[in-house]
Amino acid sequence: MILGETMLRKLKQHSRLDAADETAIRQLSCQLRELADGEDFIHQGDEPRSSAVVLSGTLARYHTLKGGRRQYLSLHIKGDWPDAQGLFIDRMDHSVCAMENSAVCSIPHRELIKLFRDRPTLGFAIWRETLIDAAIFREAITNNSSRSGIRRLAHFFAEIYFRSDSIGLVSENNCRLPLTQTQLGELLGMSIITVHRHLQTIRKSRVADLKGGNLMVRNWSKLAAMGDFDPQYLHMRVQPLR
Amino acid sequence: MILGETMLRKLKQHSRLDAADETAIRQLSCQLRELADGEDFIHQGDEPRSSAVVLSGTLARYHTLKGGRRQYLSLHIKGDWPDAQGLFIDRMDHSVCAMENSAVCSIPHRELIKLFRDRPTLGFAIWRETLIDAAIFREAITNNSSRSGIRRLAHFFAEIYFRSDSIGLVSENNCRLPLTQTQLGELLGMSIITVHRHLQTIRKSRVADLKGGNLMVRNWSKLAAMGDFDPQYLHMRVQPLR
DNA sequence: CGAGTGATTGACTGGTGTCAAACCCTGTGG
DNA sequence: CCACAGGGTTTGACACCAGTCAATCACTCG
């Protein structure tokens, strides 16, 4: 089953699971949901009753600001749990939407909690998953607060490329990144104009390029250097890119 | 015991615990540690073997940037778990230091994990604690990325005042906030000069004042409005300030 | 009473945001 | 098959907020 394999591949990046754990995961029930580009998956204020794993596509968490503008908080690809942060929370403090046509698989909290009681190790693995989420949030604070525009953009590109690679979504130096320049600005805390100007610089230096929702990395080590990117905060046991 | 009461008061802000849970918490062993102003409690790269609860004082998480400068990520007061994010993580991706003379109480992970296996509900409560931490990180992303300098400062003041009040650390409209303007800048992603200028504005409008490590809130509703502060993201069952 | 740290103020500069307009690509409909 | 509409991208002009530099003031501590 796709859900089981996707979950396992992701969880094994950071956690050790035994055969019984794997079996338990494969037996989870899955409620498939397809999302259209731009569609909200869960909305700020909702009471979460299930949590989902991304099977395909790209989702994002976001805050809605006074005046309706958005602050995107994080981007989620295959294997991620875009609403895991709602696990033990009464009401969502943020929303989650699809950035392109996507598919997710929902698991009721009731079933997850039973799983955690029966197999604490699996609970710890998913807890770890939410802690890595938090580490990514911390890095985003640092990125958006203390790095210059161009480094900020480069760091984000490096992170998404690295994460895509680790789940097997990079081919020929390309990965998906279906964000408009406006959305990149709403993620990185800068205006579309500034995003555009720095993007041009990155293009001209032949480090990376973003076109048609695809990120092409021409020079990985230069990109990582430009963004001060050090993947330690992603807490993976194996580190694919070098 | 101080540890038990401090932990219980904090956990009960968001979780329901039964009598047996409370007993189990009161029986946790506590390794008291006193920290001097500025001292590192745990350092980026360390392997965490225990997690601590703040008994008194103020601690902060921070990233060390290229060139040695810091990005502060979050501030922690009585009842907080400043290194809970290291619970299921091999190596710390950030450091934690004391912002004034402080006291914390460490609990070995081994003991916590045994507790979680025996009493899953308590594990869920502490998991929730780490999820609320993450919610605070998300709000920090939004604050530092999309609010103007003065709103950013006001939002941070509102948050720390609100959290201080909820753990009983506000008296006569005052709470501790032992940060220099430089440190405020390193937390909010702006230069000391900008911090200073906005702080002056906040002072002159008689909304709040920061002096000698103390934050005095003269007009709570104005401060909350100025910072677009909505405490929903703190996920407390009861909301003290109004 | 100096030394040191932090707060305060001013002058200047540069990066970033806003405004505005042209361009490009794609999908739609006549 | 072409014209059009709409969203996204690109470019330039301009203003202003925020950063750097620099100097002075205030407070605490030995």
Contacts of B68 in chain A (CB under 8 A): none
Q: Is residue A242 predicted with pLDDT exceeding 80?
A: no
B205, two tokens: 């409008």
CA distances from residue A189 to A137, A192, B184 in whole angstroms, order as listed: 14, 10, 19
The structure's pTM equals 0.96
Look up residue B122 and give its two tokens: 């308590």
Nearest to A66 by CA among B118, B171, B227, B43: B227
- DSSP letter for each residue of B62-81: EEEPTTS-EEEEEEE-TT--
Tell me what pLDDT residue B238 has. 72
pLDDT for residue A3: 86
Task: Indicate the Cα dihedral angle B64, B70, B73, B74, nearest 10°.
Answer: 120
A215 Cβ contact partners less than 8 Å away, ≥ 6 residues apart: A157, A160, A161, A174, A175, A176, A177, A208, A209
Query: Judging by DSSP bridges, how do beta strands A50-56 and A102-108 pair with one another?
Result: antiparallel
> Residue ranges per domain, chain A?
2-137, 147-234
- Pair B126, B112: CB distance under 8 Å: yes
pLDDT in the model for residue B100: 95
Taking domain B148-234, whether its CATH number is 3.30.420.270 is answered by: no
Q: Using the structure, give the distance in angstroms from the CA atom of B193 to the C1' atom of D24, rounded to a whole number.
A: 15
Note the pLDDT of residue B240.
64
- DSSP type of residue B189: T
List the structure tokens of A105.
């698989």
The two structure tokens encoding residue B59? 């601690």
Contact A116 B113 (CB under 8 A): no
Q: Please state the rounded mean pLDDT for residues A130-147.
A: 97
- Structure confidence at residue B67 (pLDDT): 81
Place of tokens 């696990």: A87
Q: How many CA atoms lie within 13 A of B16 on its CB side?
A: 2
Between B61, B117, B127, which is nearest A127 by CB? Answer: B127
Residue A184 clears pLDDT 70, i.e. is over it: yes
Specify the higher pLDDT residue, A230 or B2.
A230
Q: Please state the rounded mean pLDDT for residues B12-19.
A: 93
Measured between beta carbons, the chain B residues lying within 8 angstroms of A189 are 144-146
Q: Phi and psi (nearest 5°) for A159?
A: -65, -45
> What are B111-137's pLDDT values in tens digits?
999 999 999 999 999 999 999 999 999
Is the minimum distance from the CB of A190 to strand C below 7 Å?
Answer: yes
Round to a whole number and report the distance in Å from the CA of A240 to the C1' of C5.
46
Q: What is the CATH number of domain A2-137?
A: 2.60.120.10
pLDDT tens across B164-214, in order?
999 999 999 999 999 999 999 999 999 999 999 999 999 999 999 998 899
* Residue B192: nearest nucleotide (C-alpha to C1'): D19
- Topology adopted by domain A147-234: Arc Repressor Mutant, subunit A (1.10.10)
Q: Does residue B237 carry a pLDDT above 90?
A: no
> DSSP letters along A29-95, please?
--EEEEE-TT-EEE-TT----EEEEEEES-EEEEEEPTTS-EEEEEEE-TT--TTGGGTT-SS-SSE
CB within 8 Å of A144: residues ≥ 6 apart: A152, A188, A189, B141, B144, B145, B189
Residue A1 has pLDDT above 80, yes or no: no
% chain A with pLDDT above 90: 93
> What does the pLDDT read at residue A58?
97
**CB count in 10 Å sphere of residue A29:** 10
Nucleotides of D under 7 A from a protein CB: 7-13, 17-22, 28
User: A214 has which bridge partners?
Assistant: A176, A211
Find the residue in A nearest to B72 (Cα): A142
Cα B102 to Cα B36: distance, rounded to the nearest angstrom: 7
Domains A2-137 and A147-234 share a fold: no
Nearest to A116 among B120, B140, B186 (CB): B120
Give residue for tokens 């590192």: B40
Q: How many whole angstroms separate alpha carbon B176 and alpha carbon B196? A: 19
pLDDT, position B233? 97
Residues in chain A: 242
